[in-house]
Structure 1
Amino acid sequence: MYLEHVNLVVTDINESLRFYRAAFPHWQVRSKGEGTWSGKPRNWLHFGDEYHYIALSDNGEGENRDLAGHQPGLAHFAYVTQDIEGVIERLQHAGFAIAKDGMDNPYRRNVYFIDPAGFEVEFVQYLTDIPELRNNEL
């Protein structure tokens, strides 16, 4: 079993797509269209590769949850990379700042960014293949 996609409601698909294109330059728009959701028109697209994607739908209303608060909802989602420096460089070049660094850990490096819709996205590079070390919380 694996996670196939994450479906995010955003206010601006193009701005969100700019963030995810910087993070995943090898991904592409797989499909897109228009429809309605609960009586409201919306545009949608699927951005990814043959196996994983992010679904983006526009016409989001209001603000995303306060990431420093305690409201229920999505806290963050994470992607594993083999080149965290490349991800950081591409996102910063596209104008996105690191929101916070992960904990200092000799077996992994992680960093968090906030996408244009207010979702926190973690990127992690593991520096060992040994699960006990990768998953420790030093």
Structure 2
Amino acid sequence: MLYLEHLNLVVKDIPQALKFYQVAFPHWRIRGEGQSTWYGKPRRWLHFGDDDIYLALSDHGESDIRDNRAFQVGLSHFAFVTNELTNITQRLMAAGFVGVQGDGAAGVRNNTYFIDSDGYEIELVEYLTADIGQKNDY
């Protein structure tokens, strides 16, 4: 078995970062938190998720992340699959986050992109079919 357990995101301010993720994933919880040092720099860390997947947030960020409209090497975006895209999108927009509808694929998938408070782009995908061939037809 192989699956993605967590993403480790360096942020500037954990409470500010949590505002997005708590609205997007209200069923998640703080799994653990503490303080440590990373290559000599003090940091606060927090794990936010459920029993299987979580985001590891660390507050020692000092600069902005790469511009997704440019061509620097680095993380472009990450995606979560949901069966309630409309509800999550409405919650996030009501909380002040701006979503941009993706191209999707008629009858196959819908998707929306959001930017969190640190500039990470998060894609939310809702598949309308269980057919793997259709899901992977780009």
* TM-score of the superposed pair, with normalisation by structure 1: 0.96
Q: Per the alignment, in what secondary structure is the counterpart of residue 43 of structure 2?
A: strand
2:96 is matched with 95
Q: How many residues align?
A: 136
Instruction: Note the C-alpha offset of 1:104.
Output: 4.1
Q: Structure 1 unaligned runs (5+)? A: none
Partner of 2:46: 45
Tell me the distance in 1 between the aligned counterparts of 2:104 and 2:126: 13
TM-score by length of 2: 0.96
Q: Partners of 1:118 and 1:136 in 2: how far apart?
A: 29
Matched, 1:124 2:99: no
Task: Give 1:82 deviation, angstroms.
Answer: 0.5
Which runs of structure 2 are paired with 1:64-79 in the superposition (5 Å)? 64-79=65-80
Matches within 5 A, 1:1-138: 1-98=2-99, 100-106=100-106, 107-137=108-138
Identical residues among aligned pairs (%) = 51
Deviations 1:19-66 (A, max 9, x none): 000110000000000111111111000000001000000020111101
In 2, the alpha carbon distance for the partners of 1:135 and 1:91 equals: 27
Please, what is the CA RMSD of the aligned residues? 0.8
Structure 1 segments of 4+ aligned residues over 3 angstroms from their partners? none
Which sections of structure 2, spanning at least 5 residues, go unmatched?
none
